[in-house]
A and B are shown apart, each in its own frame.
Chain A
Amino acid sequence: MQLLNASGCLDALVAPDVARQLDGFVTKTITPLPREGNAPPRIAETDHGMLNAIGLANPGRDRFLAEHLPRLRELGLPLWISVGGFGADDYAETCAVLRDVDAIELNLSCPNVDEAADSAAEIVAACRDATRLPLYAKLSAAHPDLAEVARAVAAAGADGLSLINTLRGLALDPHTHETVLARGSGGLSGPSLKPIALHAVHTCYAATRLPIIGMGGVATAQDVIDMVACGAKHVAIGTALFSDPAAPTRIRDELAVVDLDDIFARAHAATKSRVYAA
């Protein structure tokens, strides 16, 4: 089991000491062109989570490759590059120019930008043609038939799945009754997501048997154990990093006496559903 960060929840260049606690660093999503992101306010706490509407703020592909990636390499950590866009070509063009990184995570599910016109499977297929790097498809649990989407991206050539992204939500100012976020809606993360994420991991593992990075409300060793017991091979921490930058070390210490391989093996054996045959 590798412990990663959820994309967009850590800047390894600003907080290298936090990144070095992880087994690999997942970048914030890179789009072809630079994006300033959404107007503030961009975050709002809810009773059991938080909303964000950052809007894929990033320096754009060219500046990322020229300025950020060389500095990230100096950290000496496995690098996962989160790739975004607004059509299959956007994703594929970025995949084609990425070299010497450990994996690519295709962000197919950001709730804070207009959705890509192409389907998840079309995007994965285009990226598969563009790169031989491991491709993980990050899916949203909001899809009514997530297992079907998982099977489709597997058929299109995905090597693994990242589950789940935030889910769209709304928070209101109690005095004005207006939305707290300037964009209106935002992506819900934090403890509220965990049962939804567990269900998504369980369902998609049964449907595809692909390696899965489980994320959504992970803050403790027990959360990691639950993810693995549902079929996650790796686990990512998101919102918990905000309140506790030492969370990866704390969780790893708590896991020292846990046999995750055994838990995963039992999850594997318990998965009776038809295995997707590529």
Chain B
Amino acid sequence: MPRRERLNVVGVEPVGPYALLRLVRNGMEPGTPGQFFMLEAPGRVLPRALSLCLAPPSELQFLIDPVGPGTQALAELERGEAIHVYGPLGNGFDLTVERPLLVGGGIGMAPLPYLAEALRFPPTVLGFRSELHAEAAALMPGAEVVIDPVLVTDVLPEGFDILACGPEPMLRALPSGQLAWEAPMACGYGACYGCAVEIDGELKRLCVEGPVLSAAA
């Protein structure tokens, strides 16, 4: 069951151009890798949907790309402040795969460190648009890293079960597997109908049906 709690900020650490927001867990369940939480963005009307990046025993950690007013407010939080957090929400990755391969693109790598822990650190391919962005690969030691113009699809080994998160063109270019999608969300729990995406020819709510969806080969 998702819970909504006010969590204290441990700190925010820069990871390349991104920010790793560390919150005191306060008994909240981290959920399955690929599930997400709604984080109160100070000064904004709506919370922001973020998948969990890492879950050390006493913390919940989120990787944030500060691209707009909400994510910037989250990245500017300071130790001692507190925000409301609601989750875990949605459907995460199915971990019963035989030969996992993690594939991430840009900020889409956010849920992969936690997923890698759950799957005992399987092979991983990460793609970034610049050297600066690629500094985030430090969160996933051992990952193969490519930088634009080289794409993750250029270096994918065959014969693996792909678990991926990244920009839509990357997800659409992958052959098959479990894909974590993104859509703007107001609520995260099926109330607003804002996160509609086309699934099997129908518009469905990504927060309820996803965010992880299986794509057939």
Contacts and interface: CB of A to CB of B under 8 A. Distances in A.
Contacts of A40: 183-184, 195-197, 203
Contacts of B4: 244-246
Contact of B46 (A8, A50, A57): A50
Interface stretch (B13-21, B117-125, B157-165, B186-194): B186-194
Contacts of B65: none
Contacts of B190: 11, 14-15
Contact of B86 (A28, A46, A50, A245): A245
A43 B183 CA distance: 10
Given A14-B208, A36-B202, A50-B186, A242 B193 contact: no
Contacts of A14: 189-191, 208
Interface in B172-186: 183-186
B45 A49 contact: yes
A191 B84 CA distance: 19
Contacts of A246: 4
A45 B194 CA distance: 11
Interface in A17-76: 18, 28, 36-37, 40-46, 48-50, 52, 54, 57
Given A45-B46, A191-B45, A37 B193 contact: yes
B191 A10 contact: yes
B203 A57 contact: yes
Interface residues of A, number: 32
Contact of A15 (B40, B184, B185, B191): B191
A241 interface: yes
B203 A242 contact: no
A46 B69 CA distance: 10
A37 B189 contact: no
Interface in B25-80: 38, 40, 44-47, 70
Contacts of A44: 184
Instruction: Bin chain B's interface residue count.
Output: 20 to 34
Given A37-B196, A43-B192, A45-B45, A242 B184 contact: no
A137 to B, nearest CB: 23
A243 interface: yes
A246 B6 CA distance: 13
B191 A37 contact: no
B45 A43 contact: no
A37 B202 CA distance: 10
A72 to B, nearest CB: 14
A61 B193 CA distance: 18
A49 B203 CA distance: 25
A11 B191 contact: yes
Interface in A215-266: 239, 241-246
A52 B46 contact: no
Given A11-B191, A37-B203, A242-B186, A46 B45 contact: yes
Contacts of A190: 45
Contacts of A46: 45
B184 A43 contact: yes
B189 A15 contact: yes
A240 to B, nearest CB: 9
Interface string B188-217: 011111111100001100001000000000
Contacts of B186: 43, 45, 50, 52, 239, 242-243
A9 interface: yes
A99 B66 CA distance: 51
Nearest to B193: A54
B191 A41 contact: no
13 contacts: A9-B191, A14-B190, A15-B189, A42-B196, A45-B44, A49-B45, A54-B194, A242-B47, A242-B187, A243-B40, A243-B46, A245-B86, A245-B189
Interface of B: 4, 38, 40, 44-47, 70, 84, 86, 183-187, 189-197, 202-203, 208
Given A43-B185, A48-B45, A50-B45, 18 more contacts: A14-B191, A14-B208, A28-B193, A37-B203, A41-B183, A42-B193, A44-B184, A45-B45, A52-B192, A52-B193, A52-B194, A54-B194, A242-B46, A242-B47, A242-B191, A243-B187, A245-B187, A246-B4
Q: Which 9 A-B pairs have the closest CB atoms?
A: A43-B194, A14-B190, A242-B187, A242-B186, A54-B193, A10-B191, A11-B190, A36-B203, A45-B46
